[in-house]
Structure 1
Amino acid sequence: MAHETVGSNLSQAMEPGAIRPHGRHMDVVTCCHITSHLRVKMRMETRFSDVGNCIHLSAGQSPGKRVGVMDLSFEAESPLAPPAELLERLPSCDCLLQGDRCCRSWNPGCQIFFPPSEAPGRPQEQRCWSSFLEHRVPVVTEEVAREALLSFVDSKCCYGSAAAGDLVILELKQQVLRRYRLETFSESRISEWTFQPFTNHSVDGPQRGTSPRLWDIKVQVPPMFQEDTRKFQVPHSSLVKECHRCHGHGRYKCSSCHGAGTVRCPSCSRAKRRARPARRCQMCSGSGRQRCSTCSGRGNKTCATCKGEKKLLHFLQLVIVWKNSLFEFVSEHQLDCPGDLLAKARGETLFKDENTMVYPIVDFPLREISLASQRGIAEHSAALASRARVLQQRQTIELVPLTEVRYWYQGKTYVYYIYGTDHKVYVVDYPERYCCGCTII
């Protein structure tokens, strides 16, 4: 994915009033996380570029002991964090709080910043629900029930239509359900180190200014309640270092032939044929070896990490995630229809409230709806308050019709359900099903 660079005019310091006390979790630009990760790597097994020299540190080995360059044939592709001395050139990096731990011991001057909170919407006015409760959904008649089943059967290749046309409807049980739905559209920001091949272009490093903090960077917000993920390069956070994969050579030894350029011939069982020419192996002409197809006989390959450029441009990448969190509740019913179908069913909107922050419904005549509203808002608030910024909330109450249809066909009684305003059908058991294992929902 191509990275977008945010203009330098966005690198403004956060207002002092935005500073919060230590003790809450927030995703921000950090030096602490990278440094602690580097120290763990050095204790176990680390390879990094140190002023142009290739140094290999193993567990229990003295840092001053120099060893030869390792065979890179099986080296992992994952990049290492830049050395700590390079990170010190980025004074604008804030520390990343993980749980209740902070990097104050490493950087006593670091500060914790949280996303700016939006002002809540206006308090809910007292509503008169009588007009809402007078609303009724259309009644499902026998004709509508039969047409819904016929339409359902016609859409299935292994269901016969004779039963749907000849059945005798015995009973219709209708019920109107209330479905409460809360949507919370939020924005979260995290930073991560990434890299790309360095092609001798200008480097936007700390020498060009102070990097803006995560929540100071202005970006275009997508349409409300539409999820999206975008990545941006944090201004003035770039630095150049030797490629960790090839140690600055641009190429590395081929892992298939180990640098020889040839491999043993698989056609002649890896044995050199010295028989008469008529019986020599056609694949290797009796030499017992073939040109390596991985490296085309060169014995080495262009480094896939730096693309042969020998150096990498490391920079902090801002990852912005816009997410739509959903809370749903369907009122109780006595009919045996799966709840997941009712959650997805099309309903008729009875009430809709949308604002930056919505208030719980407290006076709805059906108490379980009011309790669901309070619970949903509390859950979203607790889940998002410390790690994301709420951009918009929307809560709705919908009427979802549900009808149980009992019918008789060839001496047996069957049942199916019609749900939603678009008359979707759920069949428990259908008498004319031609292939086994087709429980269609």
Structure 2
Amino acid sequence: MAVEGPTAPPADMFDKVSGYESIATGGEERYLPPPVYPTHSVEGSQPQPAQQWSIPSINEDTARQALTKYASDHVTYSSRPAEEMVIKELKPYNMYRYRLESFTESRSPEWKSEPYHGQTVDNYGFGPPPPPWEVMVDIPTMFEKNKKKIQVPHTASVKGCHRCMATGKVPCDNCTQTGRVKCWVCDGKGARFGGDDRCNHCLGSGIKSCNSCSGYGRQTCKVCQGQGQLFFYIQLTIKWENNKFEHVVEQQCGFPTKALCKVTGQKLFTDQQFQVYPIMGFLDPRINQVSQQGIQEHWTQFGKTSRIIQQRHTVELIPVTEVHFQWKRKDHSYFVYGIENKVHAPEYPGKNCIIM
């Protein structure tokens, strides 16, 4: 069987386009550095959040209801400890969660080719192609992941197919251009069963017309689909990503802060703009430091390959209350956390002992 020729266009078939001299040609995404935009200094100032308040600790009824629901959600847990316990102390440990979101856009140009079926040829005659970061694209919904591929204006051209030399046909791989192949029924012998029975499939000739090329010795070129011409253009792949930086300023109380990712808090502060400033003067100075760190990290991490379109950061106050109680003359404790009043009680005394 003949070896299939190269299907990818050779490098010399691609035009030299200003601003696109080093773009990819083999399916590789190579994202370009964005234009340099002015940035805020991380030493900039930001007014204090307008609201500085805390969420009061939950009361005993709420603490008991939360633990009762926690027990009912576990089929092997008894609800009696929650119903009969004597609450001794409610100790609040309110925690702050800082979250920074940077909505970024990245662009990767690549030469593309496809069979020419009469597509509009928007070439250099209509004007010079815009540089990659000047191609006009509508920005999708902010802070949502998205991807789009578009044809760069004024980069199209039509050229003869390199695979078939612009004829639309290539030598048949199956019959090596002869148009004939050995009969598969009689294995080319013309007869079956030791020569006593003429092969009806090939009428005794031992050969058949090639099905791949219908006996012509040449078949349709797969690269240009028989058109003989290819349509070339630069395709721009644009990706939008929502990148997050999150940090919880915790209290040293033995509560696993990783559990907080499943609950919501009360927003104390929010700001959204092209580039947010580090928070200054917040009631917990650790938030100020984390805010500055997150903003610096995002500009360092994404600034070289992406354009930051919009940033948003928030501070949430997440209520965490440690409940100390007594049941059957023994001391126990558990945590109630989040606006949802979820419970963390790894040492719940009613485990695996359903009491009717």
TM exceeding 0.5: yes
Paired with 2:171 and 2:325, the residues of 1 have a C-alpha distance of 75
Please name the residue that 2:77 is paired with: 163
State the match for 1:313 in structure 2: 231
Distance 2:110 2:285 in 1: 46
- Alignment of 1:329 with 2:244, yes or no, is no
Rg (Cα) greater in structure: 2
Partner residue, 2:145: 227
The SS at the match of 1:342 is: helix
- Counterpart-to-counterpart distance in 1, 2:104 and 2:219: 45
SS in 2 for 1:322: strand
| Fraction of identical pairs, as percent | 30
Matching of residue 93 in structure 1 with residue 12 in structure 2:
no
Structure 2 residue ranges without an equivalent (≥5): 25-31
Q: Give the Cα separation in 1 of the matches to 2:34 and 2:335.
A: 49
Q: Give the alignment partner of residue 98 of structure 2, picking from 180, 193, 217.
A: 180
- Where does residue 215 of structure 1 map in the other structure? 133
1: distance between equivalents of 2:190 and 2:325? 80
In the TM superposition, 1:141-290 aligns within 5 A as 141-150=63-72, 153=73, 160=75, 162-168=76-82, 175-252=93-170, 274-275=192-193
- Once the two structures are superposed, what CA deviation does each residue of 1:292-324 show, in whole Å capped at 9, x if it has no partner? 99x597787644432222221111112222221
Give the aligned length: 330
> Which structure's residues are more often helix, by fraction?
1
The letter for the 2-side match of 1:335 is G
1:126 maps to a residue whose letter is P
* Partner residue in 1 for 2:47: 126
Maintained 8 Å contact 1:241/1:311: yes
Q: CA deviation at 1:269?
A: 11
Alpha-carbon distance, 1:383 to partner: 2.0
CA shift at 1:76, angstroms?
Answer: 5.8
For residues 317-358 of structure 1, give each alpha carbon's deviation from its aligned partner in whole angstroms, at most 9, with x where no partner exists: 12222221111101234435362x423532221111111111
Structure 1 pair 208–170 and aligned structure 2 pair: CA distance change class (3 A): same
* Counterpart for residue 377 of structure 1: 295
**Which residue does the alignment assign to 1:347?**
265
In the TM superposition, residue 370 of structure 1 has moved relative to its aligned partner by 1.4
Contact residue 33 and residue 306 of structure 2 kept, 8 A: no
Work out the CA distance in 1 between the residues paired with 2:170 and 2:130: 38
**1:255 Cα offset (Å):** 6.0
Q: Is the 8 A contact 2:182 2:188 kept in 1?
A: no
Q: What is the TM-score with the length of structure 2 in the denominator?
A: 0.70
TM-score normalised to structure 1 length: 0.58
| CA positional deviation for 1:396 | 0.4
| Matching residue within 105, 108, 115 for 2:35 | 115
- Deviation, structure 1 residue 207: 3.0
Higher relative contact order (CA 8 A, sep 6+): 2
Q: Alpha-carbon deviations, 1:126-171, whole Å to 9, x = none?
A: 3267x42334464551212221453xx3xxxxx62x5253455688
Query: SS of 2:113's equivalent?
Result: strand
Deviation string, structure 1 residues 376-400 (Cα, Å, up to 9, x no partner): 1001111233332222111101122
Structure 2 residue corresponding to 1:421, chosen from 328, 333, 339: 339
- Whole-Å separation in 2 of the counterparts to 1:285 and 1:137: 96
